Amino acid sequence: MRNIWTICSKELRSYFVSPIAYLLLTMFALIFGFFFWNALGYFVIAGLEMQLRGQNFPMNVNEQIIRPLLSNASVVGLFFIPMITMRLFAEEKRSGTIELLATSPVCDIEIIVGKWLAAMILYACLLFFTALNFAFLFLYGHPDWKPLAVGYLGLLLQAGTLLALGTFISTLTKNQIIAGAATFGVCLLLWVLEWTSGYESATWAHVLAYLSVITHFESFAKGVIELKDVIFYLSGIFLGLFFTARSMESMRWRS
């Protein structure tokens, strides 16, 4: 446990002493801020139109701002995840510091969880900026906080799965660009798998759509915790970390 924290804090430090963390935070804040501004603008105009037409259709901040924005955040997150995970192992392999970690009395799994946890914390920092935007809604309106909290839980779980896969991909190469590109490909694929269900109703399409990380996020965005989705993400995290451990183990045999 102590070792996990040692590794994790070292990783966090290298994120935050290099420009990586600040670059990602800035970009994410900008992009999400833009989404937020748009969503809010649309909401305000729609509200005005309702009033002008004298309709009394109920407007709901949760349904009309928070829910789509959470879905947006989950998609934008997909693009940031490769940038968070690509260096985790690839950099250590390239610079040779992996030899230090692998010859220290630390379990592989402690190294892996430490690194993954650091990636999770950085991702949580990104999400913090979305929370800053949502804070305005609470200042001027009365949205329900519970669906929002569930949404964040979903975002973290979804990111956990993708970060674990990214960590795994990072162990496969010495080259950060390759790790990043491959992770990006996998993230994108896991997103678009869902599209098959739009036109095809055969079983295989359902299976493919079920594998999509986005499908399982929808209920979280609604504010509903579904056990099957939680289990999907948790098993994704487990699978990713398990592959990472096997990959590290195989380094001892191949190298």
DSSP letter for each residue of 3-67: HHHHHHHHHHHHHHHSHHHHHHHHHHHHHHHHHHHHHHHHHHHHHHHHHHHT--PPP-HIIIIIH
Q: Count how many Cα atoms sit within 13 Å of the Cα of residue 150 in the half-sphere of its side chain.
A: 21
Under rule CB under 8 A, residue 1 binds another protein = no
Under rule CB under 8 A, residue 121 binds another protein = no
From the list 179, 148, 176, 13, the residue with the least C-alpha distance to 70 is 148
> Judged by CB, which is closer to another protein: 94, or 206?
94
Pick from 26, 38, 97, 235 the residue near another protein by CB under 8 A.
Answer: 97
State the number of binding residues for another protein (CB under 8 A). Answer: 25
Least distance from C-beta 21 to another protein, angstroms? Answer: 12
Under rule CB under 8 A, residue 246 binds another protein = no
Pick from 29, 31, 59, 106 the residue near another protein by CB under 8 A.
Answer: 106
Least distance from C-beta 79 to another protein, angstroms? Answer: 25
Under rule CB under 8 A, residue 199 binds another protein = no
- Interface with another protein in residues 6-35 (CB under 8 A): 6-7, 10, 13-14, 17-18
Least distance from C-beta 47 to another protein, angstroms? Answer: 49
- Interface with another protein in residues 139-198 (CB under 8 A): none
In Å, what is the CA distance from 82 to each residue of 123, 135, 143, 181, 233?
A: 11, 28, 33, 7, 18
Least distance from C-beta 115 to another protein, angstroms? Answer: 13
Under rule CB under 8 A, residue 60 binds another protein = no
From the list 198, 189, 193, 192, the residue with the least C-alpha distance to 209 is 193
From the list 157, 117, 113, the residue with the least C-alpha distance to 248 is 113
Pick from 99, 136, 146, 234 the residue near another protein by CB under 8 A.
Answer: 99
- Sole window of 78-86, 100-108, 130-138, 236-244 interacting with another protein (rule: CB under 8 A): 100-108
From the list 243, 73, 252, the residue with the least C-alpha distance to 167 is 243
Under rule CB under 8 A, residue 95 binds another protein = yes
Rounded to whole angstroms, how far apart are CA atoms 179 and 238? 20
Under rule CB under 8 A, residue 104 binds another protein = yes
Task: Kindly tell me the number of DSSP H helices and DSSP E strands found in the chain.
Answer: 12, 0
Least distance from C-beta 138 to another protein, angstroms? Answer: 38
Rounded to whole angstroms, how far apart are CA atoms 168 and 163? 8
> Judged by CB, which is closer to another protein: 14, or 219?
14
Q: Which residues lie near another protein (CB under 8 A)?
A: 2-3, 6-7, 10, 13-14, 17-18, 95-106, 252-255
